[in-house]
Amino acid sequence: MPLPAQREGGTVKILFDEDRCTGCGLCVRVCPQRVLALVGDKMQVVDQPRCMGCFGCEDVCPTGAVRVLRARPTAAEVPIEPPVGVTACDVAVVGAGPAGLGAAITCARAGLDVVVFERLPNRTLSHHPDGGVLYSLPSISRIQVQGERVAFPELEIEVRDVRPRRCKLLGFLGPDGLRTDDRFPPGVTGWTVSKDRFVAALAAEAERAGAKMWYNALVRDVIKEDGRVAGVRPDTGEEVRARVVVTADGVWARISRKAGIPINRQDRWYIDLLAAEYENRAGLPAGLYYLNGALPFDELPGPMGGVGINDEVIHVMVACVARRPIYPAPRPLDAYLHRLLAEDERLPPILGDALQGQSPRLLTGCRAVTRAAPSPDVVGEGVIAVGDSWVDDGELGDVPSLADGVHAGRVIVRAAQRNDFSKSALNPANEFRTPQLLKILAENKKMKLLAAQLDEEEMRQMFLFMQHLNYPITLFGTPRQQGMMFARFMVKNLFRFVRYPRIARLLF
């Protein structure tokens, strides 16, 4: 099976201001690919083509000496979409992911002047490599597919040219051949799309609605006046005043914190994820697998693997989970991806010969964090936090994030009609976080942390339970289907609840 190799040019360009660098070394310690080094008392880029564009160095630099340009073309060809040159607007949105764009579309359609700030140089590559599975809840929105379009009726949003495909397989693969049931039974349907296409289509819809997109604009801070958020400060030097700010700045939530949103900082776990992206030339069916246990390396803490397949690409992923924010392993993350591709016996039955004769067209990755609890409040004076910024499990999901942004946008539109952007006027934004959604996020967090909390024998015990779960029904089934599945799960595992009490406590 072809392994990731160093590529000419790469997909990332690391910009470095030597005058600002203090030689603290934080950027070097967080880098999962070991592409940075301290030479003398300054940071240097020693292997840029292997950079996975996780923004770790940019995020931890206390002086703003590092900027990462991440896009699909090679580094020398990264096109930067110019700023729109505004100084004031009604709504400033920090982050052009599904949550931020949902808010932008909703507000712009209502006639508000909206500017979206995004630190990526353009819309050709999104932040997260994943299988692009579109997951929702009945209480959030239906997902309707027609040709190359996807509509979310309850959100009043339809995106074009996203190439949705039916998800055929979805599940967890464990040790000793144990696995969840990955088949979609009759009446259960899931969809996958390219995350890059999905976000680009949402950006195009925001522009059609009248929003302005400002790429290559890393927001460093917010403007505060008279106890309220009054705008944003991108690193381009401008100050942009706004009647209300939407912080859709992702799981690290730095701008959300600066805006006064309470972000839980207890019981944190840090996740580094790297993916090799290949073309899906073989036309493999769309699906997503998580690999837990029996991974071919033991020095990587909390190791996980994965395969995400959509119509266009195949992502083969490796990740680690650790307690400290610095990268925890002795070798670069791509070294473990090499071993996963070469040695893990669960991959050939999924991929067959689909990767033969091709090298990965890019390496891409991200960093995430889980927390003890979600934010207790997502609203402040003149500000609403949306999407991954407030969650406890590291990711809200594309469709729930979009819905969260739309909900916040509707709250803002009503507030604008009264010209009141106080905390009390914006407080209905908190209503999106229903008990059902918070429970699902808590369960998802449990699954993410299994690799860090269980040894190999405990992981095997966990999959003795999980083999009686149908994961497609868990995500997409009707309440009746889910109830019947969990009833069977309880019956099949009755004796295991007594035999493996620690695993039972983790599950429930």
Classify 364 as helix, strand or coil. Answer: strand
CA 24: distance to chain centroid?
28
Q: Phi, psi at residue 72, to the nearest 5°?
A: -70, -35
Are residues 126 and 221 both part of a single domain? yes
344 lies in some domain: yes
d(C-alpha 338, C-alpha 305), whole Å: 12
Are residues 255 and 282 both part of a single domain? no
106 lies in some domain: yes
**Structure confidence at residue 69 (pLDDT):** 83
d(C-alpha 276, C-alpha 1), whole Å: 13
**Strand ranges in 20-130 using DSSP code E only, listed in sequence order:** 36-39, 42-45, 66-70, 88-94, 114-118
449 lies in some domain: no
Are residues 321 and 286 both part of a single domain? yes
Output the pTM of the full model: 0.94
179 lies in some domain: no
Are residues 107 and 229 both part of a single domain? yes
472 lies in some domain: no
Which tokens hold the place of 221? 């801070």
Domain stops at, among 433, 454, 481? 433
**Structure confidence at residue 437 (pLDDT):** 93
471 lies in some domain: no
Domain stops at, among 416, 433, 450? 433
109 lies in some domain: yes
Tokens 């969650």 belong to 391
**Structure confidence at residue 114 (pLDDT):** 98
Classify 499 as helix, strand or coil. Answer: helix
Which tokens hold the place of 446? 């449990």
**Beta carbons of 141 and 247 less than 8 angstroms apart:** no
Are residues 298 and 380 both part of a single domain? no
Q: Could you give the number of structural domains in the chain?
A: 3
Are residues 318 and 388 both part of a single domain? no
Which residues neighbour 332 within 8 Å (Cβ) at sequence distance 6 or greater? 32, 33, 34, 50
Are residues 283 and 419 both part of a single domain? no
Tokens 């160095």 belong to 57
156 lies in some domain: no
d(C-alpha 426, C-alpha 244), whole Å: 10
Mean pLDDT in order along the chain per 10 residues (508 residues):
46 86 95 94 91 92 89 60 81 97 99 96 71 81 94 96 91 96 90 89 96 93 97 91 98 96 95 94 94 92 94 93 95 96 95 93 90 96 98 92 98 99 98 93 89 94 96 90 95 96 89
Are residues 102 and 70 both part of a single domain? no
Are residues 215 and 227 both part of a single domain? yes
Which residues neighbour 333 within 8 Å (Cβ) at sequence distance 6 or greater? 32, 33, 52, 272, 274, 318, 320, 327, 365
What are the C-alpha distances in Å from 145 to residues 148, 162, 332, 392, 412? 7, 10, 40, 30, 29
Are residues 278 and 358 both part of a single domain? yes
Of 433, 419, 407, the closest CA to residue 106 belongs to: 407
**Structure confidence at residue 312 (pLDDT):** 86
CATH number at residue 23: 3.30.70.20
Classify 373 as helix, strand or coil. Answer: coil
Are residues 42 and 68 both part of a single domain? yes
CATH number at residue 232: 3.50.50.60
Are residues 273 and 341 both part of a single domain? yes
Provide the residue range defining the domain that includes 308.
269-370
Domain stops at, among 370, 390, 420? 370
